[in-house]
């Protein structure tokens, strides 16, 4: 046993001795000797990549164009003798001089990379300070339809600056403003007149280093896109004071031809006021057919004819009149029906506070009117210009949520002129898409104030450039105040997107437009307001008007021209 144990110890010791004396594998030197990266920074910026390199065609000269001032808009002039270069070379190569400390780029110098095998690659580093002759932004300001408008130019790679002007808009009296580096100079003073209607105009920017770049300003008709809205502009914004609003009484609008009609509800009856819909200027009153009976609602059909409705509490007459245009002094009575509180109505909220229409009053159309404080919606159809039913179809909404009834100002907006047409329902607790045969919700908006605000009653629906749109007035003040609102436009062509969440990547393609908060007024406890839609240029431009009671009116134009 003693001999065996001694043999094991000796064997183990011998193996350990040979193992400890083994030499590592030799590293084979490589020929690689090129810089794979190099950039510049400043002593105070650590490893931040501030200045990028560019190479000569032969890859043997490295140029650094250092901004004359850094940051570019500051007054801190760059010192070329205090630039730090950082770079990357092969693992077994050497670089002379080494990088990572301040270097003087005010004069050329050599960088030499030596490979592991001793092969040398020489680079010449050239630095210079350069001015900024870049046009950052250019804006044309002009007046169209009595309203100041602005167009932002699109800078092309060839230095063309294109202002996409929709046909019919006159920019001959425009002025230009722009953004350039504060140390640079431009050939045209900001605020100066430019007439791009007469042709192109040169615009030269000269940097602090004396190097100039010339841009070409031009107005150009934009390209029509096959689907949806493109270029938009604000038409006007009028306050309640400018329009002479009566507190809590200006409640509805409709569009016809070149006119916008405002319904003003008064205790002694109502009146309809006619405005130029492109400027917001008051023109005259429209004939009022209801005597002392109150009207809360007017609406336009798809052809620009106006439907006027009386308000009918229980046992009062619900009457509808059709106007061919706002100058029509002899409107046609379409309907006279006595509100007998049909099935489903338990409270007397009346009929006629909100009335919605889809179609052509001289052809086929569907008219819907919710009964206040109920789940009942009344529906009438017109076929071939003739009313099909004097008594309404009584529809009971089956998917009520958040309350026992729809409230006073719910809206039911049909989306076709066919029997049992589907419709959007909009009341305080939801915006839903409803089966017109079963009265059950097919889809609905996500219940999120970021989508439809704190309140969201006024509604309109239309088709424009092969897309279907739902327009709503989105209140952004608290419930009960309802004194701040925006126009919000949704593309509802694909109804599967109705439930899109606000944080979804596809949300911008669903909620395609939200206006500024320009409608601001006094407290509006009932949340009244309205949305009206018109078209011009053979349907190539759409105008949407929004009314907020106690706040005012605003108009926006949407085109089929690409942005």
DSSP codes of every residue in 227-272: SS---EEEEEEEEHHHHTPPTTTEEEEEEETTEEEEEEEETTEEEE
Q: What is the pLDDT along the chain (563 residues), one digit of tens a residue?
A: 434 433 333 333 344 444 445 555 666 889 999 998 999 999 878 788 899 999 998 889 999 999 999 988 999 999 999 999 999 999 899 999 999 999 999 999 999 999 999 999 999 999 999 999 999 999 999 988 777 888 888 888 899 999 988 888 889 999 999 999 999 999 999 999 999 988 999 999 999 999 999 999 999 888 899 999 998 888 888 999 999 999 999 999 999 999 999 999 987 779 999 999 988 889 999 999 999 999 999 999 999 999 999 999 999 999 999 999 999 999 999 999 999 999 888 888 899 999 999 999 999 999 999 999 999 999 999 999 999 999 999 999 999 999 999 989 999 999 999 999 999 999 999 999 999 999 999 999 999 999 999 999 999 999 999 999 999 999 988 777 999 999 999 999 999 999 999 999 999 999 999 999 889 999 998 899 999 999 987 888 999 999 999 999 999 999 998 87
The pLDDT of residue 22 is 54
What pLDDT is attached to residue 460? 98
Per DSSP, 20 falls in state H
pLDDT at res. 24: 58
Neighbouring residues of 533: CB distance < 8 A, sequence distance ≥ 6? 255, 300, 460, 462, 471, 542, 543, 544, 545
**Residues 209 and 311 both lie in one domain:** no
DSSP-assigned letters across all residues of 440-506: -EEEE----HHHH-SB---EEEEEETTEEEEEEEEE-SPTTT--EEEEEEEE-SSGGGTT--TTSTT
Instruction: Give the domain-ending residue among 112, 130, 148.
Output: 130
Structure tokens at 221: 């008709």
Beta-carbon contacts of 361 under 8 Å, excluding residues fewer than 6 positions away, are: 301, 303, 305, 307, 322, 334, 382, 385
Q: How many other C-beta atoms can be found within 10 angstroms of the C-beta atom of residue 532?
A: 27
Is residue 6 in some structural domain? no
CB atoms within 10 A of CB 385: 14
DSSP one-letter code for 82: G
Q: Do the Cβ atoms of 370 and 354 come closer than 8 Å?
A: yes
Tell me what pLDDT residue 96 has.
95
In this prediction, residue 23 carries a pLDDT of 57
- Residues 359, 336, single domain; the answer is yes
Q: Which of 220, 245, 264 is the last residue of a domain?
A: 220
Query: H-type helices in 359-470, by residue range?
Result: 449-452
The CATH number assigned to the domain holding 550 equals 2.120.10.70
* 423 and 488 inside one domain: yes
Are 145 and 274 part of one and the same domain? no
Please indicate, yes or no, if residue 16 is contained in any of the structural domains.
Answer: no
Tokens 């870049």 appear where?
A: 134
Residue 25: the pLDDT is 61
- Three-state DSSP at 118 gives coil
Under DSSP, the state recorded for 433 is E
- Clarify whether residues 91 and 215 are in a common domain: no
Verify that 502 and 386 share a domain, yes or no: yes
Residue 22 counted as domain residue: no
User: What is the spatial distance between Cα 381 and Cα 369, in angstroms, rounded to a whole number?
Assistant: 12
Give 519's contacts (C-beta < 8 A, 6+ positions apart).
237, 473, 484, 485, 486, 529, 546, 548, 551, 552, 554
* Residues β-bridged to residue 528: none
Distances (CA, A) of 6 to 3, 19, 20, 490, 505: 5, 20, 21, 91, 77
Asked if residue 192 belongs to a domain, the reply is: yes
Instruction: Provide the whole-model pTM.
Output: 0.71
Same domain, 256 and 400: yes
Confirm whether 18 is domain-assigned.
Answer: no
| Burial of 481 per CB tally in 10 Å (0-12, 13-18, 19+) | middle
- Cα radius of gyration (the chain): 36
Is residue 169 assigned to a domain? yes
Residue 349 Ramachandran class (φ > 0 left, ψ -120 to 50 alpha, else beta): alpha
Quick one: 356 and 242 in the same domain? yes
Residues in a beta bridge with 141: 150, 175
Is the separation of the CB atoms in 432 and 446 below 8 Å? no
Measure the CA–CA gap between 31 and 15, rounded to whole angstroms. 38
Query: Does residue 21 belong to any structural domain of this protein?
Result: no
Q: How many domains does the chain have?
A: 3
**Domain range for residue 73?**
37-130
pLDDT of residue 488: 97
Question: DSSP secondary structure string, 297-322?
Answer: EEEE-TTS-EEEE--B-TTSEEEEEE
| Residues 156, 304 within the same domain | no
Closest CA to 339 of 313, 320, 319, 368: 313
- Helix (H), strand (E) counts: the chain: 4, 43
Show which of 101, 130, 159 is a domain's final residue.
130
The answer to whether residues 156 and 99 belong to one domain is no
Same domain, 214 and 322: no
Q: Which residue, among 453, 494, 490, 460, has the nearest Cα to 475 in the 3D structure?
A: 453
| Cα 397 from Cα 371, distance rounded (Å) | 11
Q: Residue 353 gets which letter from DSSP?
A: S
- Assign residue 85 the CATH number of its domain: 2.60.40.2340
Measured CA to CA, the distance from residue 490 to residue 513 in angstroms comes to 7
Residues 258 and 374 reside in one and the same domain: yes
Query: Cα(100)–Cα(537) distance, rounded to whole angstroms?
Result: 64
Q: Which of 478, 352, 497 is nearest to 431 (CA)?
A: 497
Q: Say if residues 534 and 557 touch (Cβ distance below 8 Å).
A: no
Residue 13: the pLDDT is: 39
* Whether the Cβ atoms of residue 335 and residue 380 lie closer than 8 Å to each other: yes
Partners of 85 in the β-ladder:
40
Cα(346)–Cα(372) distance, rounded to whole angstroms? Answer: 10
**Domain membership flag for residue 226:** no
CB 473 within 8 A of CB 457: yes
d(C-alpha 414, C-alpha 299), whole Å:
13
Distance CA 557, CA 492 (A): 19
């Amino acid at each position: 046993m003693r001999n065996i144990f001694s043999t094991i110890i000796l064997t183990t010791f011998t193996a350990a001795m040979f193992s400890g004396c083994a030499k590592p594998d030799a590293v084979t030197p490589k020929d690689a000797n090129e810089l794979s990266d190099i950039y510049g920074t400043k002593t105070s910026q650590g490893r931040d990549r501030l200045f990028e390199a560019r190479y000569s065609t032969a890859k043997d000269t490295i140029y650094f164009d250092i901004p004359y001032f850094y940051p570019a808009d500051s007054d801190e002039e760059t010192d070329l003798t205090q630039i730090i270069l950082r770079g990357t070379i092969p693992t077994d190569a050497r670089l002379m001089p080494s990088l990572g400390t301040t270097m003087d780029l005010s004069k050329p110098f050599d960088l030499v990379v030596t490979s592991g095998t001793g092969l040398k690659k020489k680079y010449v580093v050239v630095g210079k300070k350069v001015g900024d002759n870049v046009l950052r932004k250019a804006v044309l300001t002009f007046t169209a339809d009595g309203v100041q408008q602005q167009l932002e130019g699109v800078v092309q790679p060839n230095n063309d600056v294109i202002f996409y002007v929709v046909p019919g808009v006159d920019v001959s009296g425009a002025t230009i403003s722009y953004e350039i580096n504060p140390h640079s100079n431009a050939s045209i003073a900001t605020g100066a007149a430019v007439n791009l209607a007469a042709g192109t105009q040169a615009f030269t920017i000269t940097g602090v280093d004396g190097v100039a770049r010339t841009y070409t300003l031009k107005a150009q008709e934009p390209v029509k896109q096959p689907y949806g809205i493109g270029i938009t502009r604000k038409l006007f914004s009028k306050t309640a004071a400018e329009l002479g609003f009566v507190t809590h009484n200006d409640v509805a609008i409709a569009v016809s031809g070149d006119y916008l009609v405002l319904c003003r509800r008064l205790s002694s009856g109502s009146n309809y006021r006619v405005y130029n819909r492109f400027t917001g200027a008051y023109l005259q009153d429209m004939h009022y057919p209801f005597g002392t009976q109150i009207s809360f609602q007017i609406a336009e059909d798809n052809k620009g004819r106006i439907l006027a409705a009386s308000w009918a509490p229980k046992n009062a007459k619900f009457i509808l009149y059709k106007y061919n245009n706002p100058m029509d002094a002899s409107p046609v009575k379409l309907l006279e029906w006595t509100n007998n509180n049909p099935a489903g109505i338990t409270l007397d909220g009346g009929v006629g506070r909100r009335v919605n229409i889809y179609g052509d009053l001289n052809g086929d159309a569907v008219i819907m009117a919710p009964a206040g404080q109920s789940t009942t919606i009344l529906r009438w159809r017109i076929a071939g210009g003739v009313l099909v039913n004097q008594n309404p179809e009584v529809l009971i909404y089956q998917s009520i949520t958040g309350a026992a009834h729809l409230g006073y100002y719910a809206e039911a907006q049909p989306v076709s002129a066919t029997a049992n047409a589907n419709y959007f329902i909009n009341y305080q607790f939801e915006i839903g898409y409803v089966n017109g045969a079963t009265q059950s919700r097919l889809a609905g908006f996500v219940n999120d104030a970021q989508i439809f605000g704190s309140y969201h009653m006024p509604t309109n629906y239309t088709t424009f450039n092969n897309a279907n749109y739902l327009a709503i007035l989105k209140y952004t003040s608290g419930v009960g105040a309802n004194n701040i609102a925006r126009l919000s436009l949704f593309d509802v062509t694909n109804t599967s997107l109705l439930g899109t969440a606000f944080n979804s990547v596809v949300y911008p393609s669903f909620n395609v437009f939200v206006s500024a908060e320009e409608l601001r007024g006094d407290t509006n406890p009932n949340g009244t307001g309205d949305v009206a839609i018109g078209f011009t240029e053979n349907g190539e431009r759409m105008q949407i008007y929004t009314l907020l009671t106690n706040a005012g009116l605003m108009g926006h134009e949407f085109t089929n021209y690409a942005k």
